[in-house]
């Protein structure tokens, strides 16, 4: 039995991808950018087409509600994010948002009224590509991040998240209203592309995730003295860039040495003032650290700090800011079992998997029972323009969520 419509899914994925700051060079849709606003308005219209009542919350998450027979019951929430990394792909995030809309469309198509509400959510700033840290929507919604922090975090141009929110048309003074009351969600379900090669390599359709790795993000800043590249003798320099690269060249080996599936990435670096003939005086880079075991993540953080501070000790100032820490997170075992059962009932080839990528699901997992379903990524590529998942594969993942949503809302799925 198949339910979801690959053509409908394709239309939503491709339609959303038109809101992109870098057409032809992958997808770039940063939170609160003009493309993000246009995408949100377009998504709101598509949610209404699927029969949902739409609201935008105080930080710009978009919610579409399919009313339940008992509106007072907490909803089953299905969704993901619609921001992207710079020059990324069209599926990371949108696949889960589109999955939620398609589940709602299936309820409507089959004339089903859920016993409790079903809500679809499209979230902001999961990637942290604009304001750093990431997982921002889920952290604000669940109370892990105080909305007042929006005044403290800024993008690369120095625009604070609060200023960007105001320019987006929302009132930063009300941002705290986005926080959910305890018990406000019955369960949270997310569909995501795998972003790795395992499902494709095994010819499998879906993975039901049972655990998400721990992750941390640091930002290190080295401060030196700017000066003339031609007239400052080598012996008299305090070059922030030389310090930064000396430290960062040592970091990947920390992860290799500690092993235990730990990974460490420096993905962004900023060099100021940025003149070819000026000695750099301020250099920052990010450090993304992940491992399945919390102790390994915390050890790697400590070792990273030690390397940076030791290099900084050579006459440079250093600051290290921890922008994100999320412990390894087990997802709901009963939901894992249910999602596995639904996949089997659909005749899908499935497996259990640990997620090496971070997802909003890992933040929701402490707030409500949470389930996460992966669908295959072609060649295992993600966070790159080549990111691809066949629409028929996406539809199979949506079918698993649809059966789960039926069961969780007391509805008999169509035969
Ligand atoms: C999100 O893609 C993350 O894992 O950082
Ligand atoms: Mn991502
Ligand atoms: Mn994602």
Residues 38 and 116: beta-carbon distance below 8 Å: no
The share of the chain scoring above pLDDT 90, in percent, equals 98
pLDDT exceeds cutoff 90 at 254: yes
Name the residue at shortest CA distance from atom 3 of ligand 1.
358
The confidence score (pLDDT) of residue 415 equals: 87
Tens of pLDDT, residues 5-44? 999 999 999 999 999 999 999 999 999 999 999 999 999 9
Torsions phi, psi for 107 (to 5 deg): -60, -45
The confidence score (pLDDT) of residue 411 equals: 98
Question: How large is the average pLDDT for residues 359-375?
Answer: 97
Question: How large is the average pLDDT for residues 118-126?
Answer: 98
Q: Does 127 contact ligand 1 (Cβ within 6 A)?
A: yes
pLDDT exceeds cutoff 90 at 328: yes
Question: How large is the average pLDDT for residues 161-175?
Answer: 98
Torsions phi, psi for 120 (to 5 deg): -105, 135
CA of 72 to the centre of ligand 3 (A): 31
Question: How large is the average pLDDT for residues 182-211?
Answer: 98
Give the C-alpha separation, 405 to 295, whole Å: 36
Tens of pLDDT, residues 204-217? 999 999 999 999 99
Question: Which sign, positive or negative, has the C-alpha torsion 172, 159, 268, 97?
Answer: positive
CA of 144 to the centre of ligand 3 (A): 19
Q: Does 358 contact ligand 1 (Cβ within 6 A)?
A: yes
Question: How large is the average pLDDT for residues 373-395?
Answer: 98
Tens of pLDDT, residues 56-90? 999 999 999 999 999 999 999 999 999 999 999 99
CA of 356 to the centre of ligand 1 (A): 8
Name the residue at shortest CA distance from atom 1 of ligand 1.
358
Cα→Cα distances 272→223, 228, 283, Å = 10, 14, 6
pLDDT band at 314, cuts 50/70/90? confident
Residues 266 and 283: beta-carbon distance below 8 Å: no
In three-state secondary structure terms, 2 is: coil
CA of 357 to the centre of ligand 1 (A): 5
Please state the atom number of ligand 1 nearest to the C-alpha of residue 356: 4
Closest CA to 79 of 64, 89, 68: 64
Question: How large is the average pLDDT for residues 42-49?
Answer: 98
Across all residues in the chain, what is the average pLDDT?
97
pLDDT exceeds cutoff 90 at 129: yes
**Domains, the chain:** 6-212+328-409 (3.40.630.10), 214-326 (3.30.70.360)
Question: How large is the average pLDDT for residues 219-230?
Answer: 98
pLDDT exceeds cutoff 90 at 278: yes
pLDDT band at 133, cuts 50/70/90? confident
pLDDT exceeds cutoff 90 at 313: no
pLDDT band at 168, cuts 50/70/90? very high
Please state the atom number of ligand 1 nearest to the C-alpha of residue 357: 4
pLDDT exceeds cutoff 90 at 114: yes
Residues 213 and 290: beta-carbon distance below 8 Å: yes
């Amino acid at each position: 039995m198949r339910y979801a419509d690959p053509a409908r899914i394709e239309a939503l994925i491709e339609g959303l991808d038109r809101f992109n700051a870098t057409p032809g060079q992958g997808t770039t849709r940063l939170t609160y950018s003009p493309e993000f606003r246009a995408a949100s308005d377009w998504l709101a219209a598509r949610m209404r087409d699927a029969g949902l009542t739409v609201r935008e919350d105080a930080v710009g998450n978009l919610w579409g509600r399919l009313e339940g027979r008992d509106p007072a019951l907490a909803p089953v929430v299905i969704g993901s994010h619609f921001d992207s990394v710079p020059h990324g792909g069209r599926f990371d995030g949108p696949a889960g948002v589109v999955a939620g809309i398609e589940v709602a469309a299936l309820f409507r198509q089959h004339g089903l009224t859920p016993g409790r509400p079903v809500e679809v959510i499209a979230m902001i700033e999961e990637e942290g590509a604009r304001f750093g840290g990431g997982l921002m929507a889920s952290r604000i919604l669940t109370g892990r991040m105080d909305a007042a922090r929006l005044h403290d975090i800024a993008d690369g141009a120095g625009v604070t998240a609060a200023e960007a929110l105001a320019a987006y048309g929302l009132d930063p003074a009300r941002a705290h209203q986005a926080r959910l009351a305890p018990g406000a969600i019955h369960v949270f379900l997310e569909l995501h592309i795998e972003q790795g090669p395992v499902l494709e390599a095994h010819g499998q359709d879906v993975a039901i995730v049972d655990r998400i790795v721990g992750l941390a993000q640091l930002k290190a800043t080295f401060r030196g003295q700017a000066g003339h590249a031609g007239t400052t003798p080598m012996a008299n320099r305090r070059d922030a860039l030389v310090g930064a690269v000396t430290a960062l060249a040592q970091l990947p080996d920390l992860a290799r040495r500690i092993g235990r599936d730990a990974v460490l990435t420096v993905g962004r670096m900023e060099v100021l003032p940025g003149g070819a003939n000026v000695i750099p005086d301020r250099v920052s880079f990010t450090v993304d650290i992940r491992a399945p075991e919390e102790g390994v993540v915390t050890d790697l953080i400590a070792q990273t700090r030690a390397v940076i501070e030791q290099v900084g000790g050579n006459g440079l100032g250093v600051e290290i800011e921890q922008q994100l820490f999320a412990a390894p997170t087990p997802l709901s075992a009963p939901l894992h079992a249910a999602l596995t059962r639904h996949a089997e009932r659909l005749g899908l080839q499935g497996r259990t998997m640990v997620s090496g990528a971070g997802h909003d699901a890992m933040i929701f997992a402490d707030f409500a029972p949470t389930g996460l379903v992966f669908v295959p990524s072609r060649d295992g590529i993600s966070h790159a323009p080549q990111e691809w998942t066949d629409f028929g594969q996406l539809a199979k993942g949506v079918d698993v969520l649809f059966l789960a949503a039926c069961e969780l809302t007391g509805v008999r799925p169509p035969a």
